[in-house]
Every structure is written in C-alpha cells, then in structure tokens.
Amino acid sequence: MDRELDSFKLFDPEIYEALKGELERQRAKINLIASENYASPEILRITGCLLTNKYAEGYPGKRYYSGCEFVDEVEELARIRAMSLFGSEHANVQPHSGTQANMAVYFSMLKPGDTIMTMDLSSGGHLSHGAKSNFSGMLYKVVHYSVNRETEKLDYDEVRVIAETEKPKLIVAGGSSYSRWIDFEEFREIADEVGAVLMVDMAHFSGLVAGKAHPSPVPYADVVTSTTHKTLRGPRGGFILSQQRYAERIDASVFPGTQGGPLMNVIAAKAVCFKEASKPKFRSYAEEVVLNARVLAEKLASNGLRVVSGGTDTHLFLIDLRPMRITGKEAQEILDSVDINVNMNEIPYDPAPPNITSGIRIGTPAITTRGMRPEHMDLLGDLITSALEKRHDSMALARVRSEIQEFARNFPLYQEVF
Ligand code: DSN
C-alpha cells in the first residue's frame, strides 16, 4: 500500500479503511459506468493540493480577497486552455458540477416561468433539463422532445414542430444516455427559426469532442456546458463555454448568482485536465473509447441482447432487458455480484419506474483508460451475457466472477501511485 495511504492509517484509521476499500474496489471491478473514469495521478495530486486553502470569490484581477495573484494565474490558465481546446470565445471554469453549470446558464438567460425545451429523461436527457423533482422543472415551463419510437433516434422534424408550437426561450441539446451523434447544425437552425437560445450540454461527450472523435457543438451553440470528470477524465467539476456576447452575464450568474468561492484546487486540476486532453495521446484515447463501445455493443447484439437504437456513435449505449425478462435494477445487481459495475437506466418510453427501469447503460471511458482494447470486448461481452443469462445458476455466476477477477488483474490501476 502506498505511503500516502499508509500515513492515513495513523491519523484517521476510519477514513484509511474506506479509502483502502475503495482502491481495492476500483482495482477489482470492471467499471462500465458511462459517466465515470480514472483521473491521472497528476490530476489526483493537484485536486488535493494547497490551493484548497484559498478563498477567491470573483474572477482573475477582480477578486473580493487579497492574496489572489497565484490563483489568478491558475484560473486564467484553465480558462485559456479550455478556450483553446474547444475553440470557444469565452470560458467560465468555476462551476462545481455540470448541474451547477446548467443552473448558471438558465439563470443568465431565463426568468422563472420561461419555457425551455429539452430531451426527456427516458430518451436520454438529464435531471437538470427540467425534471419535475429538479430546480429546473420547478422554475421553468418545460417542454420535451423525445426520440422516435421506431428508430430510437432524434427526429429533427418532430423537434422542429414542437419548437414552432411551444416557442421556447432556450433549447437544450445533449443528455446523459443518448448514444448517437446529435446534429448541432440542425438544432441551430431550429433555434434560429423560433428565436431561442441554443445550449448544448456536452457533459458526457466533451472528452470525445476534445479528442476529435465526436462533432463539436461549439461552432453552433450560444452556450455549451460540460463536466470535467466523464470522458474528459479530469477532476469532478463543471465548466461553461460561450460566445463572447454572453460572457458577462454568464460570469455574473456563476458568481455571485449561484456560487460562492471557487474551488481553486479543482480549477488547477481542470487546467491540467485541459492540457492532458490537448495531447495527441488523448486523441487516440477518445477514438478507442468510441471503438470499444461500438465493438462491445456489436458483441452483445450478436449474443442476442437488444441494443437501443441498434448501436452507438459515442462512448455509451443502452441495453433493453425486457426480452430477457429482467429489470435494470436486477441486472445492475447481478453484474455487480460478478464484479462488473453498470447503472440501471431508463430506455426510451420505459414502462418501468426510474428506480427499477427496463435497461442498463454501458460505457467504455473507464475501461479504455485502464487499457482495454477492442480485442478484449469479445470476452467482456460474453461474460456480461453469461451473467445475465445464467443469473439463477450460482455456480455459473461464481465462474463468471472468477473470470472477471482474472481479466481485471491484467489491467493494473494506479500501480505507480498507490
Ligand atoms: N450522474 C451522471 C450520469 O451518470 O450520467 C449525470 O449527472
């Protein structure tokens, strides 16, 4: 065990035990949760650095505290790197999360009661895109577009009709479980036709955009929000890119509008993340994430599982479990029992409640970071299929689990750190 963790053993044994357990869990399990990844050792280190000590409300050069000269440099570096990586005119790197980024954008563009138009949750949207239980659903009038029932892909004619009828003030494209490329140019046209602001939430696929394995929304959207910890593989956090004409109101909406002091240690880690994502190596990573997802989806489909929309263009896809007569919740638990982590997920037009669901979401960002390649997807696909098909056979599940454990050992994690 690493020296850093060992020192925890002495001064906080309870936290030490939990950290040790989590390290072992991350090493032992195959992580197919589409929104998770393994940050680099450098990012882990910077996230825990001394910048956590500094209060810096405001923005570089305009802070409400003295002593901000070095954190100013850090935030400027993060902003400039984000703008250069994504080719945007303005960046705000202070949002603590993707939802905070979305909240700040809504507050900068809308008044309570205004209409927003977003993809519904079961089609692949996100809670912060107007779910009733979320602030966004409480404050705004929300209209949804959905995927087409047959193709399970977006139907832009339908999106256009809803926009023309409802005249939303802001349209959101993007989400957390839609596996296909989104036509940002088409969304731009629709937004222009009805005079709406276009916001793209690229929280899930921003790493693919950075690695040029996915079209960029930046040339088309008024504003783009994202997280830094999913495909982008940085620290847990959010950021906002926008056209310059929105810069002032977005900045004011983040601070003082919706947040207090920025997490300067995390902003430093975001700067490192943007630097890492600008390297040629990251481009190969992004390409491989998409390839792994495609090959794994094809493998599962060839084993008889139903892949929603017939495939994927991104880092994730959904499996409709209804033909197997199993719920998403059960599948999540069965796979966890054989050391594979996925999350239960609604499928389009899901008849099951969100805490049960008829599907699972499978993503490849984490396993690709761990070194798994398309040639490993065959075995992984077979083990997933076996676990689900032989779920009532405890001997078979034990065999799958031991194969997964052996497989995982071939892909060491944080060997050099811990
Ligand atoms: N929880 C994230 C995801 O899993 O997609 C979205 O916020």
**310-to-85, 292, 313, 407 alpha-carbon distances in Å:** 32, 16, 10, 28
- Which candidate in 75, 120, 152, 201 is catalytic? 201
Q: What pLDDT is attached to residue 1?
A: 40
Q: List Cβ neighbours of 185 (8 Å cut-off, separation of 6 or more).
A: 220
Q: What is the pLDDT of residue 3?
A: 62
Angle between helices 13-28 and 3-11 (to 10 degrees): 140
Q: pLDDT tens, 379-411?
A: 999 999 999 999 999 999 999 999 999 999 999
Our answer to whether residue 153 is catalytic in this structure is no
Angle, helices 184-194/156-166, rounded to nearest 10 degrees: 20
**What is the rounded distance in angstroms from the CA atom of residue 391 to the CA atom of residue 2?**
37
Question: 394 C-alpha to center of ligand 1: Å?
Answer: 31
CA 163/CA 148 separation, integer angstroms:
16
Q: What is the pLDDT of residues 299-316, one digit of tens each?
A: 999 999 999 999 999 999
- Atom in ligand 1 nearest the alpha carbon of residue 177: 5
What are the CA-CA distances from residue 245 to residues 78, 153, 217 (Å)?
20, 33, 17
Q: Smallest Cα–Cα separation from 342: which of 325, 313, 319, 326?
A: 319
Whether 201 sits among the annotated catalytic residues: the reply is yes
For 102-196, strand residue ranges (E) read 115-119, 141-145, 170-173
Task: Please identify which residue in the block is written with the tokens 């970071």.
Answer: 369
Atom 3 (ligand 1): residue with closest C-alpha?
Answer: 35
Pocket test for ligand 1, best of 35, 118, 121 (most atoms within 8 A of CB): 35
Mutate to test the pocket of ligand 1, among 176, 178, 229, 318 (most ligand atoms within 8 A of CB): 176
Which of 99, 126, 177 for mutating ligand 1's site (highest number of atoms within 8 Å of CB)? 126
Question: Among candidates 289, 381, 298, 288, which has minimal Cα distance to 335?
Answer: 381
The whole-number average pLDDT for the span 75-79 is: 98
Burial (CB < 10 A; 0-12, 13-18, 19+), residue 132, is exposed
Residue of 9, 16, 55, 115 marked catalytic: 55
- Using the atom order of ligand 1, give the atom closest to the CA of residue 227: 7
Residues of the chain within CATH 3.40.640.10 domain(s) are 45-277
The yes-or-no answer on residue 212 being catalytic is no
Considering the domain 280-409 in this protein, what is its CATH number?
A: 3.90.1150.10
In the chain, which residues fall in CATH 3.90.1150.10?
A: 280-409
- Which residue in 29, 79, 188, 230 is the catalytic one? 230
Residue 322 near residue 310, CB atoms below 8 Å: no
Closest CA to 360 of 334, 386, 339, 379: 334
pLDDT at 369: 98
Tell me: the pLDDT tens digits for 241-287? 999 999 999 999 999 999 999 999 999 999 999 999 999 999 999 99
Token digits for 101?
Answer: 């980024």
- Expressed in angstroms and rounded, the spacing between residue 96 Cα and the centre of ligand 1 is 14
Helices within 218-305 (DSSP H only):
247-252, 264-277, 280-302
- Could you tell me which CATH number the domain at 45-277 has? 3.40.640.10
Render pLDDT for 15-71 as a digit per residue (tens, 0 to 9): 999 999 999 999 999 999 999 999 999 999 999 999 999 999 999 999 999 999 999
382: left (phi over 0), alpha (psi -120 to 50) or beta: alpha
Check if 227 is active-site.
yes
Across 330-341, average pLDDT: 98
Q: Taking CB atoms and a 6 Å cutoff, what residues make up the pocket around ligand 1? A: 35, 98, 126, 176
401 counts as catalytic: no
- Three-class secondary structure of residue 173 per DSSP: strand
Q: For the whole model, what pTM was predicted?
A: 0.97
Catalytic site includes residue 55:
yes
Which residues are bridge partners to 85 per DSSP?
A: none
CB 216 within 8 A of CB 209: yes
